[in-house]
Copies of this chain bind each other. A is one copy, B any other.
Amino acid sequence: MGEGFSRRTLFGAGAVAAGIAGVGLTATAGARVVQPATATEPFYGVHQAGVATRPQAYTTIIALDLRPAHADRAGLRSVMKLWSEDAARLTQGSPALADTEPELAADPARLTVTVGYGPDLFDAVGLTANRPAALRTLPNFRVDRLESRWGGGQLMLQLCADNLLTISHACRILTKNVRSMTTIRWVQRGYRNPASASAGASMRNLMGQVDGTANLNDDAALEQYVWDPGADQPWFAGGTMLVLRRIRAEMDTWDEVDRHSKELFVGRRLSDGAPLTGSRESDEPDFTAAVNGIPVIPENSHIALARHRSDGEQFLRRPYNYDDTPPTGQISDSGLLFIAYQRDPARQFVPVQQRLSEADALNPWITPVGSAVFAIPPGAPVGGYVGQQLLER
Contact = CB atoms under 8 A, between A and B. Distances in A.
A18 interface: yes
A30 interface: yes
B325 A195 contact: no
| Chain copies in the assembled complex | 2
A23 B168 contact: no
A176 B265 contact: no
A272 B34 contact: yes
A321 B260 contact: no
Contacts of A1: 256
A253 B193 contact: no
A382 interface: no
Interface stretch (A4-12, A218-226, A238-246): A4-12
A8 B260 CA distance: 11
Contact of A331 (B175, B189, B323): B175
A107 interface: yes
Interface stretch (A46-54, A98-106, A372-380): A98-106
A22 to B, nearest CB: 4
B257 A8 contact: yes
Nearest to A190: B164
A300 B19 contact: no
Interface in A195-209: 195, 204, 206-208
Interface string A206-217: 111000000000
B361 A107 contact: no
A263 to B, nearest CB: 6
B208 A261 contact: no
Interface in A237-287: 251, 253-257, 260-261, 263-265, 269-272, 274, 276, 279
B30 A279 contact: yes
B101 A271 contact: no
A11 B100 contact: no
A209 to B, nearest CB: 9
Contacts of A19: 260-261, 263-264, 276, 298
Interface string A122-153: 00000000000000000000000000000000
9 contacts: A4-B253, A15-B264, A23-B263, A27-B271, A31-B272, A164-B323, A172-B334, A179-B331, A183-B329
Interface of A: 1, 3-5, 7-8, 10-12, 14-16, 18-24, 26-27, 30-34, 36, 100-104, 107, 162-165, 168-169, 171-172, 175-176, 179, 183-184, 187, 189, 191-195, 204, 206-208, 251, 253-257, 260-261, 263-265, 269-272, 274, 276, 279, 291-292, 294-296, 298, 300, 321, 323, 325-326, 329, 331-332, 334, 361, 364
